Copies of this chain bind each other. A is one copy, B any other.
């Protein structure tokens, strides 16, 4: 069976949980508390020298890291990855964009405010500006379709919804982007996120 090492407060970890559940892949969840440095113990570092979650141990015992790489692996051959070659490429475009231009701002602002107790006005202005730009880019990407790639849910939505749905915890008011609010609800419904 698949083993998932994750911290439930981490959107990156929840991506793996949602993908496994959507695809009815059985898994064991091993909760690790990042704030208590449980990902930095010698035991865990032996599994993942990067000291990061999520990490999965596949049924054959081999390890895999990086949230988006994990969900791509779990979803191979499923409807969560578009069959059309261009649509699949657009899905990867969103996945790489998420790690470079969305997560480092939207997720980091939320972590600093909600988990490190930093007041909003003490956040680096770069986090706030680039986080807003990312949410605007997301809204632009939803102008013509219900989901990020066409009209059915894909890993692009799984990945982007993870920190967008909790963006308010980082001080971002999603009311400025009603299209994004509607999309979050649509993705949560499609994935059965409660």
Contact = CB atoms under 8 A, between A and B. Distances in A.
Given A73-B92, A85-B73, A92-B72, A137 B66 contact: no
Contacts of A76: 85
A23 interface: no
A130 interface: no
Q: Is the interface of A mostly helix, strand, loop or mixed?
A: helix
A65 B96 CA distance: 10
A58 B50 CA distance: 36
A23 to B, nearest CB: 15
A69 B98 CA distance: 12
Contacts of A60: 86
A185 interface: no
Can you tell how many copies of this chain the complex includes?
2
A179 to B, nearest CB: 15
Interface string A78-103: 00000001101110110111011101
A104 B130 CA distance: 15
Interface string A49-64: 1100000001010101
Contact of A137 (B50, B104, B140): B50
A68 interface: yes
Interface of A: 49-50, 58, 60, 62, 64-70, 72-73, 76, 85-86, 88-90, 92-93, 95-97, 99-101, 103-104, 137, 140
Q: Which 4 A-B pairs have the closest CB atoms?
A: A69-B92, A73-B89, A69-B93, A66-B96
15 contacts: A50-B101, A60-B86, A65-B97, A66-B100, A69-B89, A72-B89, A73-B86, A73-B89, A73-B92, A95-B96, A96-B99, A99-B99, A99-B100, A100-B104, A104-B104
